[in-house]
Amino acid sequence: MKKIWTLALIFTFGLSYSQSEKENNGIENDSIFIGNCESGTKRAIKDAENKVYNSSSYGLKMKTEDDWKFDEFYEKYMESKYGILIKDGGCVRTPDSKCYTEKMKEIIATEFGSEIFKKSREEAKAKYNKKK
């Protein structure tokens, strides 16, 4: 039974991947597109050229209720002050998303300074604590 489920998953992903379409810039666009490092890097560069700065993190984070509230505040703070969008990338990290994230972190550090996340988190924490 386990082998049947495995084969069904492989077939489903293979079929979905083969049906993906190409955008004008040659990067595939599919909801389950696994991609490659080159496509992720290209997307990051293109986004930065359009002043779109997506900072994604991956994996499950254990947080308290107050942590969730602060993170929500911090995300809004980063977007309004710096134009950086903090996103949850989910649990699965593909070659495309890995290279996108790495390139975007490099671009953000160049644009805003290497300590931007540490600095902005301290700024936001001070504002957040004043609001309490």
Q: What digits encode the pLDDT tens for the residues 34-87?
A: 789 999 999 999 999 999 999 998 887 788 888 999 999 999 999 999 999 999
Asked if residues 22 and 28 have their Cβ atoms less than 8 Å apart, the reply is yes
CB-neighbour burial class of residue 96 (10 A; exposed 0-12, middle 13-18, buried 19+): buried
Strand partners, 42: none
The per-residue pLDDT for 123 is 97
> Are 29 and 21 contacting, i.e. CB atoms less than 8 angstroms apart?
yes
Tell whether the model's pLDDT for residue 92 goes beyond 80: yes
The domain ranges of the chain are 1-32, 34-131
Backbone torsions φ then ψ of 58, nearest 5 degrees: -125, 150
- Mean pLDDT over all residues of the chain? 82
